[in-house]
């Protein structure tokens, strides 16, 4: 890629960022968009819609940028939980790393590369020259200037490791402090027990009661047996749709939509009141729901949520093998009640096993299929290949601006659009693997997405130009540093354009919320519905709290990136005829991995479990809390499947009183 093409890509992305920020600053002020840009405040009753006209609504402003940085970590912690604080710390950590890397790269390494003589450069036509003149490829082979790159690798690694240690230590302390200041939560006192043996003539609940009163008499509190409720899901889904329709028809603004004709397509027949029809259907669904609930009373799963009187008692039961047979009385940590993925319990063991097999096959097919857009993207970066594939475009490709857009901006945009389709697929894959909570599903999807990006965005792009490279990596792993050293610098310009597109335009479009804005417009003007569904302070409401457990993923991915950088550096110094620098770089990945192992021993256990010291201190604090009696009473029913909770229908207001349906639309 030539310099002018990269500058075109940067210019387009800057223009789109400015456009999105400007539109956001205007559209967020419009009363009709309050459900798009402040849905959480609407749900909490903290925002009021003002309909009087104000000229300021039509003018862009930048005050929201300042206000976005004003909330402190304590504000985030109180409103959105520790996960939101960790999310912001990830941003801060990334800014620090890229700021330091930018200073080293722009003010030290870039001039060193530019002043090299390895490549012949015509300074009179610099904008149309390749970016290789600014890369390490332009440094003379065996030059002493390569030692500056060598030093930069060590300095950058040291700074990043220091920042990783600082963040790991800071977030660990925040996690412990958050635990001490948090109110009692059901999942802190509860474990999930599966593989429960049941003798002939008895029930699962009886076995659980007998076992835990015998072996945990002083700490056992209660249990909730899990039942299969998959038959209820269709009835509940239909009831939710009717409930939403009823709420829509009952609004005063849409009284005209209540009436339609009962003939063909609503064009003929007598005029009827849809409200009466839907209320009758809702009553029928309520009866069906009650019948299904009563019939499922005996469909027990050999699993139960077992609650204890103290956190320490739950931890002991969690970490000690309960039965002689390790396949029986299997314990695992219970998620938050709202975090439980109930469909997991409705699937049989055979179905879960088949789903896992399907996941492996589907993941491989997705990875292979994604190579198609990768090949297309790499073809766009080379005009000569594009002219061979599409000879009828030769006339258009001779236009300077068009060629710069195609080779500079379009490849990264296409790749980003295809990549945006992958996260929902990864969530589906993770839900097939048998996780019991939404948080574990999303954590697994995050890890899958990370490795998918590493392979398809990095390795597939740098190796797609030559099948021989891919074969060599498989047959000769020792050649990996050399191969990466040859192909990665050649793709540097593409990755710069990709990072700019994904980091600038993608983030600004997320703030602009284009898709929710379009959906809100369609609902308001074509269905008459404002949109009742939404998901840090004004928009997204946390559905669960992991206590910052996503940070180790960030730490591990950063360590992987550092080691990959070291491997590429070893190969580059070898290619540049500086074997001593190549040899002296070998200890760098070893030291990095040793640092990672130290962090795993020092901090990772804090993210897995709380220590006995923390648990006992918190339990002793609870003994002085008068609300613990009420909390334990609620703990008995905290893990009841929402589909099995009683419902009550009131025809006068047209509303199902089921907690599941209410939470779905509240």
Contact 573, 581 (CB under 8 A): yes
Average pLDDT, the chain: 78
Q: Which of these ranges, 276-285, 327-336, 461-470, 629-638, has the smallest mean pLDDT?
A: 461-470
Q: Please name which of 436, 298, 427 lies closest in space to residue 366, comparing C-alpha atoms.
A: 427
Given a cut of 80, whether residue 638 has pLDDT beyond it is: yes
Per mean pLDDT, which of 25-39, 426-440, 494-508, 599-613 is the most reliable? 599-613
As given in the structure block, the two tokens for residue 139 are 């440094």
How many angstroms separate the Cα of 525 from the Cα of each of 265, 513, 516?
Answer: 21, 18, 14
| pLDDT tens track for 345-404 | 877 667 778 888 888 899 889 988 888 888 777 766 666 666 666 676 666 766 777 777
Q: Which of these ranges, 287-291, 419-423, 492-496, 555-559, has the smallest mean pLDDT?
A: 287-291
| Distant-in-sequence, close-in-space partners of 562: CB < 8 Å, separation ≥ 6 | 157, 160, 161, 589, 592
Hey, is 656 helix, strand or coil?
strand
Q: What is the DSSP letter of 525?
A: I
Residue 433 binned pLDDT confidence (cut-offs 50, 70, 90): confident
Give the model's pLDDT for residue 617: 95
Q: What is the arithmetic mean of pLDDT over 174-192?
A: 93
Q: Please name which of 224, 223, 218, 225 lies closest in space to residue 309, comparing C-alpha atoms.
A: 218
Q: Which of these ranges, 13-17, 298-302, 390-394, 576-580, has the smallest mean pLDDT?
A: 390-394
Cα(324)–Cα(394) distance, integer angstroms: 75
Higher per-residue pLDDT: 649 or 127: 127
Q: Give the sheet arrangement for strand 220-227, strand by strand.
A: 220-227, 300-308, 190-194, 330-333
- Of the CA atoms within 13 Å of residue 256, those in its CB half-sphere come to 3
Q: What is the DSSP letter of 405?
A: I
Contact 656, 290 (CB under 8 A): no
Cα(345)–Cα(300) distance, integer angstroms: 10
Q: What is the bridge-based pairing of β-strands 259-261 and 655-656? A: unpaired
As given in the structure block, the two tokens for residue 437 are 């909570």
Residue 662 binned pLDDT confidence (cut-offs 50, 70, 90): very low
Helices (H), 538-586: 551-575, 579-585
Q: What is the arithmetic mean of pLDDT over 62-77?
A: 75
| pLDDT tens track for 132-149 | 777 888 888 889 999 999
Give the model's pLDDT for residue 208: 94
As given in the structure block, the two tokens for residue 399 are 């236009």
Given a cut of 70, whether residue 474 has pLDDT beyond it is: no
Contact 309, 221 (CB under 8 A): yes
Task: Give buried/exposed letters for 74-98 (b at 16+ CB in 10 A, else e).
Answer: eebbeebbbbbbbbbbbeebeeebe
Contact 664, 655 (CB under 8 A): no
Percentage with pLDDT > 70 across the chain: 69
Q: Please name which of 533, 537, 508, 396 lies closest in space to residue 79, comparing C-alpha atoms.
A: 537
Residue 637 binned pLDDT confidence (cut-offs 50, 70, 90): confident
| Distant-in-sequence, close-in-space partners of 323: CB < 8 Å, separation ≥ 6 | 197, 329
Phi-psi region of 198 (alpha: psi -120 to 50; beta: other; left: phi over 0): beta
Q: Please name which of 93, 92, 141 lies closest in space to residue 116, comparing C-alpha atoms.
A: 141
Give the model's pLDDT for residue 483: 76
Q: Which of these ranges, 58-67, 99-108, 141-150, 157-166, has the smallest mean pLDDT?
A: 58-67
Hey, is 330 helix, strand or coil?
strand
Q: What is the DSSP string of 254-274?
A: GGGGGEEESSGGGSSS-EEEH
Give the model's pLDDT for residue 17: 81
Higher per-residue pLDDT: 18 or 308: 308
- Of the CA atoms within 13 Å of residue 625, those in its CB half-sphere come to 15
Q: Which of these ranges, 53-57, 190-194, 270-274, 527-531, has the smallest mean pLDDT?
A: 527-531
Contact 443, 531 (CB under 8 A): no
Cα(591)–Cα(559) distance, integer angstroms: 11
Contact 35, 42 (CB under 8 A): yes
Q: Using the structure block, give the residue that is written with the tokens 């319990």.
A: 345
Cα(270)–Cα(278) distance, integer angstroms: 17
Residue 651 backbone dihedrals phi, psi, to 5 degrees: -65, -25
Given a cut of 70, whether residue 29 has pLDDT beyond it is: yes
Contact 75, 536 (CB under 8 A): no
Contact 558, 164 (CB under 8 A): yes
Give the residues across from 656 on adjacent strands. 649
Percentage with pLDDT > 90 across the chain: 28
Give the model's pLDDT for residue 656: 37
Cα(375)–Cα(516) distance, integer angstroms: 32
**Stated pTM of the model:** 0.78
Residue 542 binned pLDDT confidence (cut-offs 50, 70, 90): confident
Give the model's pLDDT for residue 404: 73
Give the model's pLDDT for residue 148: 94
Given a cut of 50, whether residue 648 has pLDDT beyond it is: no
Q: Which of these ranges, 77-81, 157-161, 638-642, 647-651, has the smallest mean pLDDT?
A: 647-651
Contact 589, 154 (CB under 8 A): no
Give the model's pLDDT for residue 155: 96
3-state secondary structure 104-156: HHHHHHHHHHHCCCCCCCCHHHHHHCEHHHHCHHHCCCCCCCHHHHHHHHHHH
Given a cut of 90, whether residue 492 has pLDDT beyond it is: no
Give the model's pLDDT for residue 649: 43
Give the residues across from 340 on adjacent strands. 437
| Distant-in-sequence, close-in-space partners of 625: CB < 8 Å, separation ≥ 6 | 184
């Amino acid at each position: 890629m030539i310099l002018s093409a990269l500058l075109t890509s940067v210019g387009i992305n800057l223009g789109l960022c400015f456009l999105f920020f400007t539109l956001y600053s205007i559209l967020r002020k419009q009363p009709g968009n309050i459900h798009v840009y402040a849905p959480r405040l609407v749900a909490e009753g903290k925002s009021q819609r003002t309909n009087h006209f104000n000229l300021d609504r039509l003018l862009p402003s930048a005050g929201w940028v300042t206000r976005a940085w004003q909330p402190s970590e304590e504000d985030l912690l109180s409103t959105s939980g520790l996960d939101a604080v960790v999310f912001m710390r990830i941003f801060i950590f990334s800014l620090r790393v890229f700021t330091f890397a930018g200073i080293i790269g722009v003010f030290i390494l870039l001039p060193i590369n530019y002043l090299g003589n390895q490549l012949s450069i015509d300074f009179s036509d610099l904008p149309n020259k390749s970016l290789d003149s600014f890369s390490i490829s332009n440094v003379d082979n065996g030059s002493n200037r390569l030692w500056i790159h060598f030093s930069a690798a060590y300095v950058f690694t040291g700074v990043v490791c220091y920042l990783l240690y600082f963040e790991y230590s800071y977030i660990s302390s925040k996690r412990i402090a958050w635990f001490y200041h948090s109110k009692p939560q059901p999942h802190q006192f509860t474990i999930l027990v599966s593989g429960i043996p049941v003798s002939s003539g008895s029930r699962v609940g009886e076995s659980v009661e007998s076992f835990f009163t015998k072996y945990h008499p002083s700490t056992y509190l209660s249990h909730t047996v899990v039942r299969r409720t998959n038959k209820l899901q269709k009835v509940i889904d239909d009831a939710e749709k009717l409930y939403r329709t009823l709420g829509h028809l009952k609004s005063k603004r849409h009284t005209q939509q209540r009436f339609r004709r009962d003939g063909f397509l609503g064009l003929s027949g007598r005029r009827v009141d849809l409200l009466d029809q839907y209320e009758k259907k809702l009553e029928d669904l309520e009866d069906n729901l009650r019948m299904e609930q009563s019939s499922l009373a005996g469909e027990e799963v050999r699993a139960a949520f077992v609650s204890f009187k103290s956190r320490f008692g739950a931890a002991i039961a969690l970490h000690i093998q309960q039965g002689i047979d390790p396949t029986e009385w299997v314990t695992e940590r219970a998620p938050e009640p709202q975090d439980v993925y109930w469909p997991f319990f409705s699937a049989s063991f055979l179905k879960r096993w088949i789903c896992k097999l399907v996941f492996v096959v589907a993941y491989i097919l997705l990875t292979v299929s994604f190579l198609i857009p990768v090949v297309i993207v790499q073809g766009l970066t080379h005009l000569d290949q594009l002219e061979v594939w599409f000879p009828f475009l030769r006339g258009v490709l001779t236009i300077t601006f068009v060629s710069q857009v195609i080779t500079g901006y379009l490849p990264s945009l296409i790749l980003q659009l295809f990549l945006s389709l992958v996260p929902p697929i990864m969530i589906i894959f993770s839900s097939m693997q048998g996780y019991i909570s939404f948080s574990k599903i999303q954590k697994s999807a995050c890890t899958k997405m990370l490795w998918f990006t590493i392979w398809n965005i990095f390795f597939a792009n740098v190796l797609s130009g030559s099948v021989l490279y891919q074969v060599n990596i498989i047959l000769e792993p020792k050649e990996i540093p050399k191969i990466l050293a040859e192909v990665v610098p050649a793709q540097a310009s593409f990755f710069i354009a990709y990072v700019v597109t994904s980091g600038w335009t993608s983030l600004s479009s997320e703030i602009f919320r284009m898709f929710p804005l379009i959906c809100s417009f369609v609902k308001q003007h074509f269905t008459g519905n404002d949109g009742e569904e939404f998901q840090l302070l004004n928009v997204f409401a946390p559905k669960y709290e992991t206590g910052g457990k996503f940070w180790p993923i960030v730490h591990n991915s950063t360590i992987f990136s550092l080691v990959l950088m070291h491997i590429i550096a070893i190969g580059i110094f070898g290619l540049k005829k500086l074997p001593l620098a190549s040899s002296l770089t070998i200890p760098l990945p070893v030291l990095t991995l040793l640092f990672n192992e130290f962090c795993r021993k020092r901090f990772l256990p804090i993210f897995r479990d709380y220590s006995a010291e923390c648990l006992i201190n918190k339990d002793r604090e609870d003994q002085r809390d008068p609300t613990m009696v009420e909390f334990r009473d609620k703990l008995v029913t905290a893990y009841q499947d929402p589909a099995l909770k009683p419902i009550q229908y009131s025809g006068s207001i047209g509303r199902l009183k089921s907690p599941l349906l209410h939470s779905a639309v509240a």
